[in-house]
């Protein structure tokens, strides 16, 4: 289990700018690690209403359950590692083995048995250290759509914002702030026929 404050800056990219940045930093699309994020909420979207998000992420053969809770600066991320069977049991509402996430759900007054999968977003991710933070180049696919973004994860918001702004300027990236992935996913889901 981990609890950490997530401070990140995000900006959408065109596919061309994404490919240009990959090339600049000497990466190939084949260097990306694939992650599957399955999102959950109640039928009346209690998590969304509280500004929270819940996902099970599959990365290689590893599963983790993460709940994001708004914090004064960034989000508090609570993550429990899961076995394949534990992840399946959460998806099927059989049991909820993510104990710290369960505690956070209880504190928010949300019954885990009311949770349901709302869909999956697949991300092909490249990440590396950049000026004291983590720079992330993401290509995401969901609900028949795809998008590209750059994220910069830091421990200090003020200096992180300056470094990220300088990065955008130095690489001629048009400023186009990105919503969180789950927000983009939900918007796309609402527009489906």
User: Predicted confidence band at 68 (pLDDT cuts at 50, 70, 90)?
Assistant: very high
Reported as a single tens digit per residue, the pLDDT across 17-43 is 999 999 999 999 999 999 999 999 999
- What confidence score (pLDDT) does residue 100 get? 96
pTM, rounded to two decimals = 0.90
Upper half-sphere CA count for residue 184 (Cβ side, 13 Å): 22
Please tell me the predicted confidence (pLDDT) of residue 193: 53
Q: Which tens digits make up the pLDDT trace of 78-92?
A: 999 999 999 999 999
Cα–Cα dist 101/47, whole Å: 13
- How far apart, in Å, are the Cα atoms of 27 and each of 20, 33, 130? 10, 12, 14
Q: Which fold has domain 2-190?
A: Hypothetical Protein Pfu-838710-001 (2.40.320)
Domain boundaries, the chain: 2-190
């Amino acid at each position: 289990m981990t609890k950490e404050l997530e401070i990140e800056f995000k900006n959408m990219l065109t596919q061309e700018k994404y490919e240009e940045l990959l090339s600049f930093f000497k990466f190939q699309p084949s260097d990306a690690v694939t992650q599957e994020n399955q999102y959950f909420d109640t039928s009346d979207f209690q998590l969304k209403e509280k500004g929270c998000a819940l996902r099970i992420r599959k990365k290689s053969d590893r599963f983790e359950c993460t709940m994001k809770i708004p914090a004064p600066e960034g989000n508090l991320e609570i993550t429990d590692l899961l076995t394949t069977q534990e992840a399946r049991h959460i998806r099927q509402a059989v049991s909820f083995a993510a104990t710290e996430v369960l505690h956070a759900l209880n504190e928010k007054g949300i019954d885990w048995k009311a949770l349901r999968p709302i869909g999956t977003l697949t991300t092909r991710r490249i990440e590396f250290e950049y000026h004291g933070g983590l720079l992330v180049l993401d290509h995401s696919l969901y609900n028949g759509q795809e998008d590209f973004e750059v994220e910069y994860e830091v421990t200090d918001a003020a200096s992180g914002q300056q470094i990220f702004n300088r990065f955008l300027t130095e690489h001629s990236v048009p400023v186009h702030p990105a919503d969180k992935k789950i927000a983009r996913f939900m918007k796309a889901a609402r527009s489906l026929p």
